[in-house]
Structure 1
Amino acid sequence: MATGAKDHRQSHTQTQLQVPNRLIHEKSPYLLQHAYNPVDWFPWGQEAFDKAKDENKPIFLSVGYSTCHWCHVMEEESFRNKEIGQILNEDFVSVKVDREERPDVDKVYMTFVQATSSGGGWPMNVWLTPDLQPFVGGTYFPPEDGLTRVSFRTVLLRIRDQWKQNKAMLLENSQRVTASLLARSEITVGDRELPPSALAVSQRCFQQLEEVYDEEHGGFAEAPKFPTPVILSFLFSYWATHRMIPDGFRAQQMAMHSLKMMANGGIRDHVGQGFHRYSTDRQWHIPHFEKMLYDQAQLAVAYTQAFQMSGDELFSDVAKGILHYVSQNLSHPSGGFYSAEDADSVPEGGAKPKEGAYYLWTVNEIKDLLPEPVEGATEPLTLGQLFMKHYGVTETGNIGSTQDPHGELQGQNVLTVRYSMDLTAARFGLEAETVRKLLDTGREKLIQIRKRRSRPRLDIKMLAAWNGLMVSGFAVAGAVLGKEELISQAIDGAKFLKRHLFDVSSGRLLRGCYADIGGTVEQSSSQFWGFLEDYAFVIRGLLDLYEASRESAWLEWALRLQEMQDRLFWDSQGGGYFCSEAELGGNLPLHLKDGQ
């Protein structure tokens, strides 16, 4: 059961005296975070589209999610600003979308942003014609003009003036870009030469990953660096089919090393367990602190697979830690799983949330918490000193200026394993098992202190896709580790999916639902049918659960869902699966498949 779930919501209750906008009627935590903005927000829907057409105004579309740090920043800097609100209300029709409720909307306009700018991300801000054709897009905009970036206000005023003075040019550019993207989205099997075999495809994938592999720190990029468990799973599969040749051993080594470096780094929460969203540096040291359910689910499987192949208990310990975190913090009493925990929370004595406040430590805090002397050491030593040595805690903090551009984290420390257990033990003349127990004692005391801190906000949305992934996580770990209680939790998760996210009359999945403060489960304000990813990941979860439990009912349901997936999403003309049903997208300018 999720501990403190009620407190998550109560501690972030709106206290503003302003009249709420129409988002107050939504269930999405992300949309509700904007319900008291002075912006006349609309949810995605026909009411907003009709208003834009009737008043001949461009649509301002802003997409994000509830645990997105920079979404919070832009909301505070710009969307709470009355002057900005007045500009938006007078000259635009403003629409807010939770990307996790509507991944189809997010994918279409992210494709446009990535094609027309230097990158993508959230918050994503796109300007559309009343016919939903995009013509300008970007991500975060600062509140003031700078040397390299213009402010959100400046962008709004420029687009307003261009719409009034050069509307024909904007429409022409929009149609040209959209036509180009549409041509790309309509590539079919017959338009290109097929690869000679699945083997050739997997070999090419492996070669591409090897080219960008970080030999020193693991992972497959510079910075920011994401865990990418799907890549790790591919490498393990590649090893399984190529284990007799050097490439297979290399694939396994790349995956194992990456998992070890992540397990030691600050991207892993060494106190409360689980993994943060990504690392801001190559070393996996300073994370972006939000915790997403889908990362926990996929990493639990990856670490379990690593243990299965190596027998190294480091991997099984990490997998069990992830699942313990999910059980304690992201699990609903009915068996489902919440989506995420925020990166930001209110620091002790602070007035407003800051990123990482719940997870960071100062030297003085650890000294005060762990003053006990350590017996048997070769020099005078306290538990706090041992703890700080092992986890890289310093007087001045271990967060560099490049990871803290605003100077908010000075003197703070992210726990990251600096030495192996054997090296820490040798440094102080202790046995490794003694050090292990001492560190466990220290972490338990830090957990108790954390319980007094203001927790990060909980996203109470429960998505079919992510719940399916989490069923896989518990089922695979339970089967490999021989833990019946983990298989039981996977069964509870599957029952939750069938009870709350499956429409029996139509045989179709629903996208998501919400848990209210009382613990009951409710559907979204607008019922969204499941997308391709919901079917794919729920089916995967059911198959893993069938293998773990040997209950044929889960296999039978998986087969029925596969038939429905084929009927709803398969492209009989061009091959492959569309991400969403054509009619669900309504007037969306593109109908996309994954990989486009």
Structure 2
Amino acid sequence: MENTTVSNRLANEKSPYLLQHAKNPVNWYPWNEEAFKAAQEEEKPIFLSIGYSTCHWCHVMAQESFEDEEVAELLNRHFISIKVDREERPDIDNIYMTVCQALTGSGGWPLTVIMDADKRPFYAATYLPRNQRAGLPGLLQLLPRVAELWENERNSLLDSAKQISLSLKETDRKVKGSPLTQGVLDQAFEYYCRIFDDQWGGFGSAPKFPSPHTLLFLMRYYYFQQEDKALDMVKITLQKMYRGGIYDHIGFGFARYSTDRRWLVPHFEKMLYDNALLAMAYLEAYQLSGEEFYARVAREIFIYVLRDMTDPQGGFYSAEDADSEGEEGKFYLWTREEIEKVLGDESAQRYFKAYDISRDGNFENKNIPNLTHTTDFLNKGTEFKEARRKLFDQREKRIKPLKDDKILTGWNGLMVAALAMGARILKDDTYLSAAQNAVDFILANLRRTDGRLLASYRAGRAEYPAYAADYTYLIWGLIELYLAGFNNKNLLAALALNDELIKYFWDEQSAGLFFYGLDGEQLLSRPKEHYDGALPSDNAVAAFNFLRLARLSGNVDLEDKAQKTLDYFTGSILENPVAHSFWLVAVSYQIFPGREVVVAGNSDNADTVDILNYLNSRFDPNTLIVLKDEKINQEWGGKAQYLQPMHSVNGLTTTYICENYSCREPLVGFDKLLEYDQRSDRAERVL
């Protein structure tokens, strides 16, 4: 039973995850020197548990074991126990997850590691039950056995810990390969075709993750290679995901992943980063197809984020839990009787048919509203708008899942990028304002006094030097925010943060970015992230940012940084292209033709507005649109010499199309741009 009167050392922390464990009978420490000093002085091994606040199996392990007096007694007697929030300390999580995957062949959360006082691990696992079952060791059996080995065979455990730690230092090595060409994109496309689920969309079998950066790559492949199959895979996947229970048809937003092939039964937690990346995918699908459905889903994602995940100060919260009242998904599930009571008989009967609501239910005798059973799904959201509103209002009276209200710099950067794209593509300044507010909050509150970016903010306190991903995602967001609103301060901020990124994370001897900065806590190793998982890797996003900033600013040194980054990881990308899907986006940006389109004129001029709207209405991922607003002093323009001679002609908004460091004759006025675009063949078109 949970101890509700005595708090452990986690009570003074800010992390919602650590606070969830503050009244466990386990004598938890946060990760700090006090814990490691205690382990040395008491000659005890360390029991390290890593998770996050919205993790379902973390809750299960906590309730089953960490609130149990017998387990707590074993931990308190034989170990120094440390709790880590993986979202606050992804550097620690990255290293020990690598150990777990190496030792067991798999990973996940909660992550369980036993190690010595020098932070060297000798045992790793994920979820462990209280008592052994289904092939899993139980803590009541494991902990006494480890304590016995520590007492009687300590040298053997320490030798194992040394070997594991040495092997960690060898995992970050450059795998040489031939330069990246279109061949790697073709190889990835062919593999995606083989593993694509033609019936239900997505790739591979259950569990299914959205993997939106895969879809971003496939849309670029379609655009440049005119491979219809690439776009078909994107559209089918986006439609099937929306139709499934992974999408919240009542409150909007996507859950983290689906446990089944049909996208019906989600793992109910909602993550900020998933919704940011998915919004980008739906927005680009709208640009490519012109189909309003994709724009509507993007708008609904933004409704969810701005309503439920936005702090009054402007930042975005991290996640919402899968569980409420101790049950996974309880907040989201319905019986027919509950719906009928809200909608009335006639409206309820129509809703039952539309959203697959049965007496037996489709999940644990209850119902997840979904559209998997019907091909008539495009207008259901509009048709049942009033019913959805009533059900939403009723659902709001329920006990809600825990909201992790940490504000993470990197995840906010992704949502800033998504909202900025939404503002540009959907022509909605609401999204631009929300994105700008988030950036202003981060730059005001998540900086050290010396200006160094910080990673996490909660309850008035910002902590931990930002990681490479925090920088790269925020820079991405700032670039998109500049392209959406042409506010020069955002491009200047992106360039300044990019300089900081290189200062703290760039490997001058080899290339690439280290996971954490040279001024961060030095752990067992200093890895470089390159696999694209649920989130794109920091190095892939950095390469993409370097290429775009080089073209925006005219700084060719950044092109060199991008090339060195790609070269460093070439071998890994070639070995497994589909594990590097965002790298494929960066490679597409590098090898396919790109242009800068400079619009010179006053921003409030009607022609200027028409030209920018026209340019932004099309999908052309390798074209950068720059506004040279002649009403204001363009501070960053001095960094881009190619902008200097570009001016409006005869007071009319003038468009300059530049490619390969040279520009065509200026197009004066909107009509001239339209004429040019209509007479050009595809290879020469601006769009």
TM-score tier by shorter-chain length is 0.7 to 0.9
Q: Show structure 2 runs of 5+ residues with no match.
A: 532-687
- 1:36, CA displacement in angstroms? 0.4
* Residue of structure 1 in register with 2:506 after alignment: 570
Given that 2:71 and 2:130 are in contact with CA atoms closer than 8 Å, whether structure 1 keeps it comes out as no
C-alpha separation in 1, matches of 2:100 and 2:373: 43
Structure with max Cα Rg:
2
Q: Does 1:412 align with 2:395?
A: no
- 1:205, CA displacement in angstroms? 2.9
- Residue 171 of structure 2 aligns to a residue in which SS? helix
C-alpha separation in 1, matches of 2:97 and 2:23: 26
- 1:475, CA displacement in angstroms? 0.6
- Residue 130 of structure 2 aligns to a residue in which SS? coil
Given that 1:582 and 1:591 are in contact with CA atoms closer than 8 Å, whether structure 2 keeps it comes out as no
- 1:491, CA displacement in angstroms? 1.1
C-alpha separation in 2, matches of 1:322 and 1:206: 28
> What are the superposed Cα offsets for residues 85-144 of structure 1, whole Å, 9 maximum, x if unpaired?
111111111000000000000000000001111311110000011111111111111122
Select 1:390's aligned residue among 341, 351, 354. 354
> What are the superposed Cα offsets for residues 168-202 of structure 1, whole Å, 9 maximum, x if unpaired?
222222222332232122x13xxx43333342333
* Residue of structure 1 in register with 2:106 after alignment: 119
What are the residue-to-residue correspondences of 1:242-257 with 2, within 5 Å?
242-243=225-226, 248-257=227-236
Given that 1:105 and 1:585 are in contact with CA atoms closer than 8 Å, whether structure 2 keeps it comes out as no
C-alpha separation in 1, matches of 2:519 and 2:452: 15
TM-score, length-normalised on structure 2? Answer: 0.75
| Gap change, CA 1:577 and 1:278, over 3 Å in 2 | same
Q: Which amino acid aligns with 1:261?
A: K
What are the residue-to-residue correspondences of 1:578-589 with 2, within 5 Å?
578-586=514-522, 588-589=523-524
Q: Does 1:529 align with 2:508?
A: no
TM-score, length-normalised on structure 1? Answer: 0.86
Select 1:369's aligned residue among 342, 361, 368. 342
Q: Which amino acid aligns with 1:507?
A: G
The farther-off stretch of 529-538 and 212-221 is 212-221
- Residue 84 of structure 2 aligns to a residue in which SS? strand
Given that 1:195 and 1:201 are in contact with CA atoms closer than 8 Å, whether structure 2 keeps it comes out as no
- Residue 257 of structure 1 aligns to a residue in which SS? helix
- 1:323, CA displacement in angstroms? 0.3
C-alpha separation in 1, matches of 2:320 and 2:179: 44
- 1:595, CA displacement in angstroms? 2.5
- 1:418, CA displacement in angstroms? 3.4
C-alpha separation in 2, matches of 1:252 and 1:502: 41
What are the residue-to-residue correspondences of 1:433-582 with 2, within 5 Å?
437-503=382-448, 505-515=449-459, 522-524=460-462, 527-582=463-518
- 1:15, CA displacement in angstroms? 9.8
C-alpha separation in 1, matches of 2:289 and 2:10: 51
Given that 1:479 and 1:548 are in contact with CA atoms closer than 8 Å, whether structure 2 keeps it comes out as yes
Q: Does 1:107 align with 2:94?
A: yes
Given that 2:14 and 2:458 are in contact with CA atoms closer than 8 Å, whether structure 1 keeps it comes out as yes
- 1:575, CA displacement in angstroms? 1.4
Greater RCO (Cα-Cα under 8 Å, separation 6 or more): 1
- 1:211, CA displacement in angstroms? 3.1
- 1:239, CA displacement in angstroms? 2.3
| Gap change, CA 1:445 and 1:495, over 3 Å in 2 | same
Q: How many aligned positions are there?
A: 531
C-alpha separation in 2, matches of 1:53 and 1:210: 54
What are the residue-to-residue correspondences of 1:244-393 with 2, within 5 Å?
248-346=227-325, 353-372=326-345, 382-393=346-357
- Residue 251 of structure 1 aligns to a residue in which SS? helix
- Residue 511 of structure 1 aligns to a residue in which SS? strand
C-alpha separation in 1, matches of 2:494 and 2:519: 24
C-alpha separation in 2, matches of 1:24 and 1:508: 28
* Residue of structure 2 in register with 1:592 after alignment: 527
Given that 2:202 and 2:208 are in contact with CA atoms closer than 8 Å, whether structure 1 keeps it comes out as yes
Given that 1:104 and 1:585 are in contact with CA atoms closer than 8 Å, whether structure 2 keeps it comes out as no
C-alpha separation in 2, matches of 1:540 and 1:324: 22
C-alpha separation in 2, matches of 1:387 and 1:489: 34
- 1:437, CA displacement in angstroms? 4.9
Q: Show structure 1 runs of 5+ residues with no match.
A: 1-13, 347-352, 373-381, 400-408, 424-431, 516-521
What are the residue-to-residue correspondences of 1:67-216 with 2, within 5 Å?
67-185=54-172, 187-188=173-174, 192-216=175-199
Measured on the aligned residues, the alpha-carbon RMSD in Å equals 1.8
Q: Which amino acid aligns with 1:459?
A: D
- 1:51, CA displacement in angstroms? 1.2
- 1:582, CA displacement in angstroms? 4.2
Q: Does 1:50 align with 2:33?
A: no
C-alpha separation in 1, matches of 2:374 and 2:260: 21
C-alpha separation in 1, matches of 2:181 and 2:235: 24
| Gap change, CA 1:205 and 1:175, over 3 Å in 2 | farther
C-alpha separation in 2, matches of 1:584 and 1:212: 40
> What are the superposed Cα offsets for residues 509-528 of structure 1, whole Å, 9 maximum, x if unpaired?
1101014xxxxxx114xx31
- 1:419, CA displacement in angstroms? 4.7
C-alpha separation in 2, matches of 1:276 and 1:219: 15
| Gap change, CA 1:27 and 1:592, over 3 Å in 2 | same
C-alpha separation in 2, matches of 1:235 and 1:118: 30
- 1:269, CA displacement in angstroms? 0.1
